[in-house]
Amino acid sequence: MNAESESEPLDTAHIDSREGFVQFLDKLHADYQQNGKAWENQTLGDFLEALSRYAEDIGGYYSDLARSGGEGVNADSASWRVFADMLRGAVVYE
Tell me which H or E stretch contains 4.
none
Query: Is 0.85 topped by the overall pTM?
Result: no
- Residue 33 has a pLDDT of 95
Question: Taking the CB of residue 94, how many other CB atoms lie within 10 A of it?
Answer: 8
> What amino acid is encoded at 66 in this protein?
A
- Residue 58 has a pLDDT of 93
Whole-angstrom distance, CA of residue 75 vs CA of residue 82: 7
Whole-angstrom distance, CA of residue 76 vs CA of residue 94: 22
What would the pLDDT profile of 12-68 be if each residue is shown by its tens digit? 999 999 999 999 999 999 999 999 999 999 999 999 999 999 999 999 989 988 998
